[in-house]
Structure 1
Amino acid sequence: MKDQFLRLERATTGFAMAGACLMLVAASVLGMYQIVTRFILETPAEWTEILIRLSLIWMVFLGIPTAFRQGAMVSVDVLYRWSPPKFRRVLDAVVSLAALALVLVILWWGWDYSVRGKVQSMAGLESISMFWGYVAMPVGALFSIFGIAGNYLDPQRLELETAQ
């Protein structure tokens, strides 16, 4: 059961990270396009600015699950190093529950905010609803749940292992 969940977690976290990388590429390409049109062609493409912002927002929220999976979001390294082995699992549980509580709040309110914002349109892209910008929060939170659970079941502390 644990191995099946960890396989699912690896797939979902990998998918989210691939999406985050894709959003970084999109932001970079759009940024270069904006520079060329603004400073070389002297006819700025104003729509690229909102798409860059949108892709960076998606990049962050899709990258967070990987940070949770690697244990990089909530750093309790010193306390972890000073703790006896039995207390470390308790510390893992407390950190995981706190992170899960935060992610569930983001999931709940992010979805609510997305639904409320679907009547708005993006400035510069009037045909696209703000829903697509706001929904990055609950989507990232949903993927983060898998990363948090995966980190609790199979902790990865590479920075602690190399520092000792």
Structure 2
Amino acid sequence: MKHFFLRFEHWTTSLSMMVACVMMALASAFGIHQIFTRFIIESPAEWTEVLIRFCLIWMVFLGIPTAFRQGAMVSVDMLYRLSGDRMRRFLDSVVAIAALTLCCIILWWGWDYAKRGGVQSMIGLEGVSMFWAYLALPVGAAFSIIGIIGFWLDPQRMELETAL
């Protein structure tokens, strides 16, 4: 069961990181388009600014699961380095419970916020509902919950390997 969950977690974390990278590329492309239209053509496109913000929000919330999975998001490095195996496992559990609590709150209230924001439209993109922008919160939280559980089951501690 643990092996199956870790494979599922690897797939979901990889998917979320891939989409986060696509969102970063899109935000960059929209930024270049905005610079071109504003300073070269001198006729700025209003929609690019809104889409850049939209892409950056999605990028952040879909990139967080990778940080959780690698143990780089919430860590207690000094205590972890000075403690024994039992204390390390206890610290992992405390950090996981705190992170899961936060992600569950973001999931719950993010979904509520997305539903309520569904009646709003994006400025510059009047045909697009704000629901799609706000949906980044619960989606990112759901992927993060999977990553947190995956880290708790199989800690990787990648941030400690690169620390000086």
Normalised by the size of structure 2, how large is the TM-score?
0.97
Q: Does 1:41 align with 2:72?
A: no
Gaps of 5+ in 1: none
2:77 maps to which residue? 77
**1:118 counterpart SS class:** helix
Q: Which moved more, 1:151-160 or 1:38-47?
A: 151-160
Return the offset for 1:85.
Answer: 1.1
Structure 1 residues 161 and 45, CA gap change in structure 2 (3 angstroms): closer
- Alpha-carbon distance in structure 1 between the residues aligned to 2:73 and 2:163: 18
Q: Which moved more, 1:103-112 or 1:86-95?
A: 86-95
- Alpha-carbon distance in structure 2 between the residues aligned to 1:162 and 1:136: 30
Normalised by the size of structure 1, how large is the TM-score?
0.97
* Kept in 1: contact 2:57–2:133 (CA 8 A): yes
Q: Residue type of the partner of 1:59?
A: M
Structure 1 residues 95 and 42, CA gap change in structure 2 (3 angstroms): same
Q: Residue type of the partner of 1:28?
A: S
1:142 maps to which residue? 142
Residue by residue over 1:105-158, the C-alpha shift from the partner in whole angstroms, topping out at 9 and shown as x without a partner, is 000000000000000001111100000010000000000011000100110112
Q: Residue type of the partner of 1:56?
A: L
1:87 maps to which residue? 87
Number of aligned residue pairs:
164
**2:19 counterpart SS class:** helix
Return the offset for 1:75.
Answer: 2.0
Identity %: 67
Q: How does 1:118-157 map to 2 (within 5 A)?
A: 118-157=118-157
Structure 1 residues 80 and 125, CA gap change in structure 2 (3 angstroms): same
- Alpha-carbon distance in structure 1 between the residues aligned to 2:22 and 2:15: 10
2:62 maps to which residue? 62
**1:127 counterpart SS class:** strand
1:17 maps to which residue? 17
Return the offset for 1:162.
Answer: 5.1
**2:119 counterpart SS class:** coil
1:160 maps to which residue? 160
Return the offset for 1:70.
Answer: 0.6
Gaps of 5+ in 2: none
Q: Residue type of the partner of 1:104?
A: C
- Alpha-carbon distance in structure 1 between the residues aligned to 2:111 and 2:102: 14
Q: Residue type of the partner of 1:153?
A: L
1:7 maps to which residue? 7
